[in-house]
């Protein structure tokens, strides 16, 4: 009887989690992998293309540009590969107990537009965190970034652009997007053939460095842009101020729903746990696995 009660309780918790995060039900495919989707509407028929968005926001301040970005993403104007999540599995022994952790990562970085005409869109950390919160997701840790790269279906080569004062402009965002598309074309990769893609952006990550007492101002923490496994161009870095976002930055979302030995668990609870945090963190417990609240989107008036 107790085992039956536990099973029913697990099913109820799982359904509550899934209702919160998924626009479509989780589906199981033949390989044993699991697929789910961000809880955003289908892309509207009237949605603008990525190239049109570039023209629309050219010349805007970063705050106005990111307001436009949030509006487009939460209305569903994202390519299919930005909304789909795939499961990753970790098997590890912790304190003499065996754990199987299953968690869900987006197949690619956030982009605006259609599958054919899209723009990868770097964001400030506060806007990235706002979108993560709205979609019941988290940003990745360094360990998650490494795990994504190791388990990706296709790995791309980093495409650095010479440093300049244009690195944070929408035109350079578009230029870098085009260089990534060229790689896909040369590889003959069909974007409708879903799978995890990695190597083409640095990640905005969560880390204890977010609240580093040695920093007097808010900072964005970046990591990644792997050339090969365990060989990132960018080590964990907190030297950029909060309002900085250049073409190389990407926003990859991680569902807050995870499963440990089949039982649902909140990703934050793993990261805050003294024992379990080792499954997803290379820096031990992350007691505040999030960036400070966005004043732009939480001060009232900006509802999408």
Half-sphere exposure of 33 (CA within 13 A, CB side): 17
101: nearest Cα among 291, 283, 275, 287: 275
Q: How far apart are CA 217 and CA 219, in angstroms?
A: 6
Tens of pLDDT, residue by residue over 102-161, are: 999 999 999 999 999 999 999 999 999 999 999 999 999 999 999 999 999 899 999 999
- The percent of residues in the chain predicted with pLDDT above 90, rounded, is 70
* pLDDT value at residue 93: 94
Q: What share of the chain is helix, strand, coil (3-state, %, to 5)?
A: 35, 25, 40
Q: Please give the residue that has the higher pLDDT: either 235 or 251.
A: 251
Instruction: Report domain extents, the chain.
Output: 2-298
Average pLDDT of the chain, as a whole number:
86
Q: How far apart are CA 149 and CA 289, in angstroms?
A: 21
Q: Please, what is the Cα angle at 88 between 246 and 115, to 5 degrees?
A: 50
Tens of pLDDT, residue by residue over 106-123, are: 999 999 999 999 999 999
Q: What is the DSSP letter of 113?
A: E
Q: What is the pTM of this model?
A: 0.87
């Amino acid at each position: 009887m107790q085992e039956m009660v536990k099973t029913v309780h697990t099913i109820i918790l799982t359904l509550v989690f899934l209702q919160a995060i998924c626009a479509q039900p989780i589906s199981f495919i033949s390989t044993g992998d699991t697929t789910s989707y961000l809880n955003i509407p289908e892309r509207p028929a009237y949605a603008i293309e990525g190239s049109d968005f570039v023209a629309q926001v050219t010349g805007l301040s970063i705050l106005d540009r990111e307001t436009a970005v949030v509006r487009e993403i939460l209305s569903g104007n994202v390519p299919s590969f930005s909304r789909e999540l795939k499961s990753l599995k970790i098997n590890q022994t912790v304190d003499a107990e065996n754990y199987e952790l299953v968690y869900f990562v987006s197949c690619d970085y956030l982009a605006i537009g259609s599958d054919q005409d899209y723009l990868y869109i770097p964001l400030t950390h506060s806007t990235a965190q706002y979108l993560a919160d709205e979609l019941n997701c988290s940003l990745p840790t360094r360990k998650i970034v490494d795990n994504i790269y190791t388990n990706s279906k296709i790995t791309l080569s980093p495409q650095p652009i010479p440093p300049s004062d244009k690195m944070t402009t929408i035109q350079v965002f578009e230029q870098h997007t085009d260089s990534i598309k060229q790689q896909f074309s040369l590889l003959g990769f069909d974007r409708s053939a879903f799978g995890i893609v990695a190597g083409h952006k640095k990640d905005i990550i969560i880390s204890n460095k977010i609240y580093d007492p040695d920093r007097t101002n808010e900072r964005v923490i970046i990591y990644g842009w792997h050339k090969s496994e365990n060989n990132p161009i960018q080590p964990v870095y907190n030297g950029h101020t909060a309002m900085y976002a250049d073409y190389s930055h990407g926003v990859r979302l991680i569902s807050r729903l995870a499963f440990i030995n089949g039982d649902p668990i909140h990703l934050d609870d793993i990261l805050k746990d003294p024992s379990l945090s080792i499954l997803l963190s290379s820096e031990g417990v992350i007691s505040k696995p999030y960036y400070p609240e966005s004043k732009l989107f939480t001060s009232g008036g900006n509802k999408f």
